[in-house]
Amino acid sequence: MEPFTKLTGIAAPLPMQNVDTDKIIPARFLKTIKRSGLGVHLFDPLRFNKDGSEKPEFVLNQEPYRKAEIIVAFENFGCGSSREHAPWALLDFGIRCIIAPDFADIFFNNSFKNGILPVRLPRAVCNQLIEDTKMGGNARITVDLERQVVVRPNGEEIPFEIDAFRKHLLLNGLDDIGQTLQHSTSIDSYEARQEQDRSWMPTTMTAA
């Protein structure tokens, strides 16, 4: 996973609540066995007409937002499915950070696993950032994970919260599994205890 340290880029406004995972990447595009290549289908129902042509009114079809690396949206971003295809599609398009008042839980988790930083900021701040994004190519927003601040185009710094552990993984681009495997002995002893306490737990081996 690519580390996330400090990002300065174009931010696209998406002033909508409940941007669901079917809007981010519809189910018919989930029939892939790869993680890459989904960017062309990102926000398909909002971005394209039925004949495949672009909807000119959609923000990511406009300059300079075609090169956006940040999205600013409203409440409950990423609600719905657990599909990691949603952050994969965002990442493949080039989005590394989403700023919103809050996120759906599964989407929030999935983002971190892919080097995408979801930043929670109050609605009033998101409104302000949305105004900033309308400055077009001049609207470069900086997201500094190390210092935990979002920097507006006018230089104003807005602090944000993040779990220390998630920050550590993201800053260093660390693989979760590698981290957990360092605790293998704890898992071994947990399983040994469990074999006694929960000996009733059935295995699935007779299924195959």
Segments in the chain forming alpha helices (H): 21-24, 44-47, 85-93, 105-112, 123-133, 164-172, 176-181, 184-197
Closest contact distance (angstroms) between CB of 198 and another protein is 7
Residues in CB range of 163: below 8 A, 6 or more apart:
none
Beta strand 6-14 with 140-144 is antiparallel
Closest contact distance (angstroms) between CB of 88 and another protein is 8
Out of 40, 135, 174, 181, the residue judged to bind another protein by CB under 8 A: 181
Out of 14, 72, 84, 170, the residue judged to bind another protein by CB under 8 A: 84
- Using the contact rule CB under 8 A, the part of the chain among 5-13, 20-28, 134-142, 151-159 near another protein is 20-28
Nearer to another protein, 15 or 64 (CB): 15
Regarding 171 and contact with another protein (CB under 8 A), the answer is no
Regarding 144 and contact with another protein (CB under 8 A), the answer is no
Regarding 199 and contact with another protein (CB under 8 A), the answer is yes
Q: Which amino acid is at 193?
A: R
What string marks each residue from 28 to 67 as x (binds another protein by CB under 8 A) or -? Answer: x-xxxxxx---------x----x-----------------
Name which of 172, 141, 146 is nearest 160 in CA terms: 146
Name which of 41, 119, 53 is nearest 86 in CA terms: 41
